[in-house]
Structure 1
Amino acid sequence: MDYRLEQDLLGDKNIEVSSYSGINTARALENFDLGGKTVNLHLIKEIALIKKAAAMTNKKLKFLQEDKADAIIKASEEVIDGKFDNEFKVSAFQGGAGTSTNMNVNEVIANRAIELLGGAKGEYDLVHPLNHVNMSQSTNDVYPSALRIAAIRLIRKLSTSLSSLQEALQIKENDFADIIKLGRTQLMDALPMTAGQGFGAYAKAIERDRWRIYKVEERLRQINLGGTAIGTGLNATNRYVFMMTDIIQDLTGLGIARSDYPMDITQNCDIFVETSGLLKSCSVNLLKISNDLRLLNSGPRGGFGEIILPKMQAGSTIMPGKVNPVIPEMVAQVSLRVISNDTAITMASSMGQLELNAFVPLIAECLLESLELLDRSVVLFKEKCIDDLLMDKDRCLENLENSLVSATALVPYIGYDKASLVSKKALSSGKTIREILLEEQILPIETIDKILSPNELIRTHISGK
């Protein structure tokens, strides 16, 4: 195997001739040899976009020679397009506040730009990872800005998916508007309701999540590019800062804005805590809905059996005929993961010190993972569960008629204590509320019929009035 020799402040190192990454990446691979998760490619591609924008800016300002700038721009575009995805192998969990990731991108772009100029990888006099690709930048303004852009793109995607889920739930609200079922509180029989009302409540919860997540983009739009190391802007010019922001807006199509106080963006990560908190709220609702569906689907004979979930796969290697609610179970597990990621983001954000947070790589990994997982699970939840689920109308009616919930409607007529006694007698005798009322001639039959009519029991009024 052929090698090239590269140097840094720690000494020399042999790098494979074919490798687009260099000595900084090699040291990171050795130092953070954790296996498993590498840096999220959404983040890598937004860093590459910033490198492209910086080269365009520095070319216009004549800080960077035209041929070098054009090569960097072309190489950055190739990274964005995924041509060099296999060159980004550094662990997502790295020390250095993201410096290893920034250097990995710098080196890949530099070496590809060198090739485009006719040189051999490692000939950094042609294009240098720091002097040219990283010109007017620092990890500390590039990394958080790239994370914000990546988060905005994924937030928009998730918001669209949540909107589709909300619509699917609203369709079920209409489809099941005439199915009367038993409502329950604390898992105990409570009052009659329609199945549609239940799905309407789910839709309202998802509507709030969609709106909250959509709106948080506004606070992610501010970036600190040009702030360089600690937000003071050393080695960047005002012309660079303003031009860079304009070019980023054009390249992304997003409402990106220059922060009026870059030092704030550089050291404070509370916006990521806020964003993650909204993802956690969404996960709480998804977890509740998925658990409700699992419970109402339970059975088919020994449980509630009121909802019929789509059958997706055989459920057991030993129990023939068993089909499990695998899609709600998947959604529940994703929700729990997002909730746990929120804890990590909260802790990592609180551990920033003075002018920088060294733990932003953990924040980035957890936030982007949560956004990706939520988006995909919401899509699958809608397509493989909500769209095709059914209600067992007969089972809903059977459970309702076997309950004692209609006793509540008697309170305005015979009082709480007497209604409680009727309910107790019905429970002990195995008879219905109606049968006890008729046997003991507590109310006229016409009144009983009006009070206990299912459609009377699901509206905001006094039943029978």
Structure 2
Amino acid sequence: MKAASRLEADSIGSLEVPTAAYYGVQAERASRNFEITHLKMSPVFLSNLALIKKAAASVNFKIGLLTKPQADAIKTACDEVIAGKFAADFIVDPIQGGAGTSANMNMNEVIANRANELLGGKRGTYDLVHPNDQVNMAQSTNDTIPTAGKMTTILLSEKLVASLDKLEASLRIKADEFSDVIKMGRTQLQDAVPMTLGDSFAGYASMVSRLKKRLEKATMEMHEINLGATAIGTGINASQYYEDHIAGQLSKLFGFELKQADDLFDATGNLDSFVEVSGALKACAISLSKMSNDLRLLSSGPRCGFAEINLPAKQNGSSIMPGKVNPVIPEVVSQAAFLVCGHDTTITMAAEAGQLELNAFEPVVFYQLFESFTALTGAVDTLVENCITGITANKGRCKQLKEGSVGIATVLCPYLGYQLSAKIAKRALKEKRSVRELVLENHLMSEEKLDCLLG
């Protein structure tokens, strides 16, 4: 049986919309035109877009452009959207043409239909509250969508930084735990000089600390918004009072300080601030993947590899090889990093592709940026919970590899000189003997002194 429908019209023509729907004709048309990912828009983004509509209603009421019943109904509808009540009514694909107009109108229609309902009207009539005239008053897609994008980036960044805080803390715990485990350091995958396993993990922790600072710095630009610019930066159809007060009103609702950009034309036409955030995410992803590669190498084996550390066993490693356990958590972190790097390329290209006073490609920028944040946050969380906290050291293996390495001859250089130390190293390799054994055999140093140097 065909669902009941109502007929709505826009400037393109008439279209049937399900009677029970809170969305309207423009969202319906967009859902048919943009069957791209078959996914939903970010609920965080939608919540922030509704918050903008709520702030606008408050300011417009204060200057008498909305009646109290209209403003109250719009704000109540916004609160319900923020609470997730109408999630099924946001039907527009996250990747869409029109610089986000369809997403903006989807929001305007849902709020307007619910506001009309609250005021005693029917869905689809818009006689009491209109999507464009009241809900979108003093706004444009071109200032609401990028502002919601920046607000969402701020929130997702806060979440990722919190996860990175936990990662840094867990790495520092391991650095302390492994501070007395001496192992061989390696450069270019060849034996280098002795170090402690704790040194490795302390280095990772310092890296994560730097990644957080870089991300926080990049995200600061997200606090500068173009709300009040309307279409291109002139503020057309917005009152001066609205322009002067909308950022402050939105800040109160959002919980983070937002500042109207000094140049609204620049803030409307250029997306380089999102490129910078994506770049910080990419740097973070690459560094975490490098660390994950290290963990895979250090735990490789367990009999025929480095095997200096043990990673927690989390998954069966093979459908054919009994007892095989793979480093699945570091592997998934690297895969999330690859995704972030690919998204960064998309974001870069989309930001470059804008023309004149507006970039039409904001939807794909936000879709990719939000997914990068989400994937990287999930990767960090599982890395902490399912890997780092459970890592143990193979002290015996570390000692065995250190003692068998000729790299420890470097430690002897200040005492025996470079040439003699190199001679010992070459002989150790040729005769398959340890450096320690040759030094003691040739009475080049006392055993106590050698123990002190080599650990």
Task: Report the TM-score range of the alignment, normalised by the length of the smaller protein.
Answer: over 0.9
The one-letter code sitting in structure 1 at the alignment partner of 2:294 is D
Aligned to 2:234: 232
Aligned to 1:462: none
Superposed CA deviations along residues 364-418 of structure 1, whole A, max 9, x for unmatched, are: 1111111122222212211111111111111111111111112112323343333
The one-letter code sitting in structure 2 at the alignment partner of 1:251 is L
Superposed CA deviations along residues 184-208 of structure 1, whole A, max 9, x for unmatched, are: 1111111111010000000000000
After the TM superposition, which segments of 4 or more aligned residues of structure 1 sit over 6 Å from their partners? Answer: none
Aligned to 1:271: 273
Distance in 2, matches of 1:31 and 1:372, equals 27
**Matches of residues 241-256 of structure 1 in structure 2 within 5 Å?**
241-256=243-258
- Select the residue among 27, 30, 52 that pairs with 2:29: 27
Classify the secondary structure of the residue corresponding to 2:390: coil
Aligned to 2:80: 78
Alpha-carbon shift at residue 255 of structure 1 (Å): 1.2
Distance in 2, matches of 1:208 and 1:35, equals 35
Distance in 2, matches of 1:266 and 1:151, equals 17
Distance in 1, matches of 2:171 and 2:107, equals 43
Alignment check: 8 A CA contact 1:193 1:457 kept: no
Count of aligned residue pairs for this structure pair: 453
Closer/same/farther in 2, CA of residues 150 and 240 from structure 1, 3 Å limit: same
Distance in 2, matches of 1:438 and 1:9, equals 92
Aligned to 1:46: 48
Alignment check: 8 A CA contact 2:315 2:326 kept: yes
Superposed CA deviations along residues 406-432 of structure 1, whole A, max 9, x for unmatched, are: 211232334333322221111111111
Distance in 2, matches of 1:163 and 1:273, equals 24
The one-letter code sitting in structure 2 at the alignment partner of 1:436 is L
Share of identical aligned residues, percent?
A: 48
Distance in 1, matches of 2:366 and 2:329, equals 27
Which sits farther off after the overlay, 200-209 or 295-304?
295-304
Aligned to 2:365: 363
Alignment check: 8 A CA contact 1:94 1:100 kept: yes
Distance in 2, matches of 1:124 and 1:178, equals 72
Aligned to 1:456: 453
Distance in 2, matches of 1:324 and 1:382, equals 17
The one-letter code sitting in structure 1 at the alignment partner of 2:4 is D
What TM-score, normalized by structure 1, do the two folds share?
0.95
Superposed CA deviations along residues 192-240 of structure 1, whole A, max 9, x for unmatched, are: 1101000000000000011121223321101111110001100001101
User: 1:410 aligned to 2:417?
Assistant: no
Aligned to 2:200: 198
Structure 1, unaligned runs of 5 or more: 459-465
Distance in 2, matches of 1:51 and 1:404, equals 68
**Matches of residues 149-298 of structure 1 in structure 2 within 5 Å?**
149-298=151-300
Distance in 2, matches of 1:406 and 1:334, equals 37
Distance in 1, matches of 2:61 and 2:373, equals 35
Cα root mean square deviation, aligned: 1.4
Distance in 2, matches of 1:312 and 1:51, equals 46
Superposed CA deviations along residues 44-88 of structure 1, whole A, max 9, x for unmatched, are: 111111011111111111101111111111111111111111111
Distance in 1, matches of 2:453 and 2:267, equals 57
What TM-score, normalized by structure 2, do the two folds share?
0.97
Distance in 1, matches of 2:310 and 2:91, equals 45
Distance in 1, matches of 2:416 and 2:18, equals 89
Aligned to 2:421: 419
User: 1:391 aligned to 2:393?
Assistant: yes
Distance in 1, matches of 2:414 and 2:166, equals 43
Superposed CA deviations along residues 5-33 of structure 1, whole A, max 9, x for unmatched, are: 11111111111101111111111111111
The one-letter code sitting in structure 2 at the alignment partner of 1:239 is Y
Distance in 1, matches of 2:43 and 2:285, equals 24
